[in-house]
A and B are shown apart, each in its own frame.
Chain A
Amino acid sequence: MNSNRAHDMKLIQNSVAMTVTLISFGMLFATLFLGYFLLRFNSPTWPPVEIQNMPQLIPFLSTLVMALSSVTYYLLEKNGPQRKLMWGLTFILGLAFLALQWSLWGALKSSGILVSNGMVPSIVYGFTWLHAAHIVLGLIALLWIGCLIFMKSPSLTSFKLMNVGKFWHFLGVVWLLMYLMIFVL
């Protein structure tokens, strides 16, 4: 069997599996968004109860951080020599995103927006919790890739890099949508 064909086959297998996986994760978030739209459009006014001092700066920053981390991951996949640096940047940006979310929850609380205050707080907290939980999964995957990179492990294939990357970019897109829905529109 020639190795080119084996490579193509592996590429197909990985792409199929990852596509299905992302569809599954996508449906989870799509359901949240569906809920958001149903609640929003069935409500005579939006927000139904006046929400004051919704933090704006922090979520904007987390969006920037998320976007940057996608760029650094892209560079990590692209070039060999700066791999370690790019991996480090991606990982730190990921952690920074989590830290920002943490401070977002704190800011919400200190401006009086508590979890049990109704629909909008439910959405803000519930959605960001779920997304943050997936970021934790993503960081674990990044950590695994990092171990392989630093140990110069031969089992670090381009497929692994590709799959983890797809997942990370996917989380970025989900965050962008959430940000637009919750904080901008």
Chain B
Amino acid sequence: MAFVEQHIHDAPTSFWSKYLFSFDHKVIGKQFLWYGIFFLMVGGLMAMMIRWTLAYPGVPFPLIGNLLFPHTGGVVPPDTYAMLFTMHGTIMIFFAITPILIGAFGNFCIPLMIGARDMIFPTLNMLSFWFSMASGVLLLASLCLPLGAAAGGWTSYPTLSTNLGQPGMGQTLWLLSLFLFGVSSTMGAVNYITTVITLRAPGMDYFKMPLTIWGIWLTSILNAIFVPVLGAGLLLLTFDRVFGTTFFLAGAAATSGRGDPVLFQHVFWIFGHPEVYILILPAWGIVSDLLSFFARKPAFGYKMTALSLTTITVLSTVVYGHHMYTTQMSPLLTQSFMTLTMLISIPSAIFFANWLGTLWKGSIRFHSPMLFSLGVVFVFGLGGLTGLYLASTSIDLYLHDTYFVVGHFHYTMAASVLLGGFAGTYFWMPKMFGRAMNETLAKWHFWLTMIPLNGIFTGMMVVGYAGMHRRLYNPFIYEFMNKLIPINQFITYSAIAMGLAQFVFLYNFFKTIFFSKNEPLASDNPWEVGTLEWQIPSPAPHYNFKEIPHVKCGPHEFGNPNLKTGRDFQYQTEELVEVK
């Protein structure tokens, strides 16, 4: 495709235009990173309160309990518990993972890795950030309402989320906040998709793009198509709450021609299942690249990986019914959804095998980004397998709404995406902020995260398999649950350990950015990889590329014995050296 070069703009000079209302994709990416890390901490604190309640029901939350819940002597009250798991889920999915993986890495990586000077619509990009800012503020504001924030779960099914289930403004603000978030995501998606299609540097074919870009691009396509579906659902629910329509109200009124609560579930999951792939695809892309970079080998089956990711993207649009097996669908439908869901394991298995193929006989460098990537391989493997159990209708009738599901989606979504996000952060840190983070601390961070993480989520699957339901304030009022208290305490201790380990990261992160001014800047290419962003200075200059690069080979050309350059890798701008 004809390529047209973007002009180099003058460097911004004032604080205002440089850090706040910046048009620069790199700055906007960093803004999203800060935003995501902030919400990660908020959501993490909420998780601690949830876990504490499940391990020690009726015992005051340590340290800050008395401050937060004075009227109960520091014990998390039941209605607050519902609010906590709702806000935890919402915050982690929409306000932590999405901004970090899509907002931060999407923004930062796309132009740099395809050889462009910026996104195609910089103003839209800035607007997208400020919309998500507004949405975050609304969500946090809803925590201060007299009746509390939303408490109907992140899925906000009616009737939990209608005026019957949730009086007050909390749920309404939640709806508006998510709608704004959706607007922001859609703006981002339009920008990312168009940028990838039209701004690739000369020679950067689709099959020469790094897999990171593949992941983010496919995610954006899903975003553009399915976030508006959620938007429609949110608006109709808002109408029900505020203006008195009855789209999702039923009950006795069903006979008088009211609406249908299950309709919301359809709308939610038509969006919701693609959404889980929206979250994981960027992480898959990043990990696919990093495995090759640090195994010093070409990505095994690069094209197959890209195509399997595409297949998964397509299939993910037609499997949403597996979240609704228990809603009295016709068996014909459940069987079809089950078959389609199982079909996804074929492309998943292909790219997973490709990951292993990449590692096979590699000369692996165990730097921190690689450790985290290997972590993703492990936790995603486990999480993906548990999905198959849930996909099978007969098993799911038992497992649905138990902690097994919670374990499943934390392994696939929380753990994989979190570790993938850390891998990306450690990897691109030198290019983003000019200096790499401390490796020793990073490795400590990895092990201190990885071990408790598995304790938490395996524990959840065990208690779920034993029949513990999710979203119960105190499951132990059922006698048969009592034997599960020790495992729940184990999960809680693991969670506290993992939470504390994140301070290692925070310390390292802040230290590198703010308190390392005297240390030298990182070299252009500290990890010795060949993608375009590593040929420009660290940190990347505001115009990215002085001259637009001409791409001649793929992103993973490693370990070619015929290379005469003294390096074991090729830059993407170099003519491919044949391997005989």
Chain A residues engaging chain B, CB cutoff 8 angstroms: 1, 5-6, 8-10, 12-13, 16-17, 20-21, 23-32, 34-35, 38-39, 42-43, 47-49, 115-116, 118-122, 125-126, 129-130
Contacts and interface: CB of A to CB of B under 8 A. Distances in A.
Contacts of A43: 257
Nearest to A49: B257
B224 A5 contact: no
Contact of B263 (A6, A8, A17, A35): A35
B568 interface: no
Contacts of A30: 229
17 contacts: A1-B5, A10-B4, A13-B120, A26-B228, A31-B228, A31-B233, A31-B267, A39-B260, A42-B260, A43-B257, A118-B257, A118-B258, A119-B246, A119-B259, A122-B246, A126-B236, A130-B235
Closest 4 CB pairs of A and B: A48-B257, A31-B232, A122-B245, A116-B244
Nearest to A9: B4
Given A9-B198, A31-B228, A118 B267 contact: no
B100 interface: no
Given A17-B120, A20-B224, A32-B232, A8 B189 contact: no
A27 B226 contact: yes
Nearest to B243: A115
Contacts of B239: 122, 125-126, 129
Contacts of B266: 34, 38
B488 interface: no
Contacts of B232: 27-29, 31-32, 35, 130
Contacts of A119: 246-247, 257-259
B193 A12 contact: no
B225 A118 contact: no
B364 interface: no
B121 interface: yes
Contacts of B263: 35, 38-39
Contact of A23 (B4, B224, B257): B224
Most B C-beta atoms less than 10 A away, residue of A10, A17, A38: A17
Q: Which of B189, B191, B245 is packed against the most chain A CB atoms within 10 Å?
A: B245
Interface string B190-206: 11011001100000000
A126 B244 CA distance: 10
Given A31-B270, A120-B257, A122-B259, A21 B190 contact: yes
Interface in B227-271: 227-229, 231-233, 235-236, 239-240, 243-247, 253, 256-260, 263, 266-267, 270
Given A35-B267, A118-B246, 20 more contacts: A10-B4, A13-B194, A16-B194, A16-B197, A17-B190, A20-B193, A20-B194, A23-B225, A24-B189, A25-B228, A27-B226, A27-B228, A30-B229, A32-B236, A39-B247, A49-B256, A115-B244, A122-B239, A125-B245, A130-B232
B228 to A, nearest CB: 4
B198 A5 contact: no
Contacts of B1: 12
Nearest to A129: B239
B224 A24 contact: yes
Contacts of B189: 20, 24
Interface in B48-73: none
Contacts of B194: 13, 16-17, 20
B496 to A, nearest CB: 41
B292 interface: no
Contact of A24 (B227, B235, B244, B253): B227
B333 to A, nearest CB: 13
A8 B260 CA distance: 49
Contact of B260 (A31, A38, A49, A116): A38
Question: A13, A48, A121, A129: which has the most chain B beta carbons within 10 Å?
Answer: A13
A30 B247 CA distance: 16
Contacts of A29: 232
Contacts of A129: 239
B133 to A, nearest CB: 21
Nearest to A42: B260
A116 B245 contact: yes
B186 interface: yes
A130 B234 CA distance: 12
B2 interface: yes
A47 B193 CA distance: 42
Interface in B1-51: 1-5
A49 B254 CA distance: 11
B229 A115 contact: no
A9 B226 CA distance: 28
